[in-house]
Amino acid sequence: MSWQLVLLLIFPIQFKIYGYITRKDKSPLWVKIEAMSNAFFLAMGLIVFYGLINDVIYFTPIFWNFWLIIAVIWLMVCLYGHQKSNTLFKF
């Protein structure tokens, strides 16, 4: 199951990066930063998931506590602060 998650992250990201390099992707810079940072946080989470499955500890627990806090804050900022989500979630 962990390899399926890795493939879901790694396979499409190369096309996204290719679109950024060739400038075929016309999205604003903020959207590109958001997409790459979300991919980075997901990749870091896959390291934890892999370690959990194989009983291997990567980094220190305090690192993962900070990672989790940053990931949740970033998720909330992107969810409530993104232009597309503002049309979906009107409060």
Using CA atoms, how far apart are residues 84 and 81, in angstroms rounded to an integer?
A: 9
Cα gap 68→11, rounded to integer Å: 24
- Distance (Å, rounded) from C-alpha 25 to C-alpha 12? 14
For 40-65, write each residue's pLDDT tens digit. Answer: 877 777 787 778 778 888 888 888 88
pLDDT band at 91 (very low <50, low <70, confident <90, very high): very low
Q: Check if the beta carbon of residue 72 is closer than 8 Å to that of residue 36.
A: no
- The whole-model pTM stands at 0.60
Q: What is the pLDDT of residues 12-38, one digit of tens each?
A: 777 888 888 898 888 888 778 878 877
